[in-house]
Structure 1
Amino acid sequence: MRNTGVSMIKESDFLAFVNLWNYLGEQQKALSSNQIPPSVSHRLSELFTRA
């Protein structure tokens, strides 16, 4: 069976989410408090406001 473009995009979106989840976990471990640093907050807002 051949992968369609839509299938590949969905897989790519899922992998991006997994990578983001892992990155946030690493950032949380590195912080002394539970605050998300402004750089991460900015990256998240860019990710979810794209058209």
Structure 2
Amino acid sequence: MNPRFLLETNQLSKSLQVIDDTYKATLDTVIVGACLLHLSAPALNVNSENA
């Protein structure tokens, strides 16, 4: 294998790792947001019914 190929492969794997980390962080945020929304939904419904 030539050094250039190894270098490009290494850079590609680093880029994929960053994408993977970003995806997981985004997924965690979406899950937490959905949970908060789910928990706050009954309170919002009660408030809108009382208004």
Give the TM-score range, shorter chain: 0.5 to 0.7
TM-score of the superposition, structure 1-length normalised? 0.55
Task: State the aligned residue count.
Answer: 31
Structure 2: tracts of 5 or more residues without a match: 36-51
Q: Do residues 14 (structure 1) and 36 (structure 2) align?
A: no
- From the two aligned structures, give the one with the greater helix fraction: 2
- The runs of at least 4 aligned residues of structure 1 exceeding 2 Å deviation read none
Runs of 5+ unmatched residues, structure 1: 34-51
Higher gyration radius (CA): 2
Greater RCO (CA < 8 Å, at least 6 residues apart): 1
Aligned-residue Cα RMSD (Å) equals: 1.6
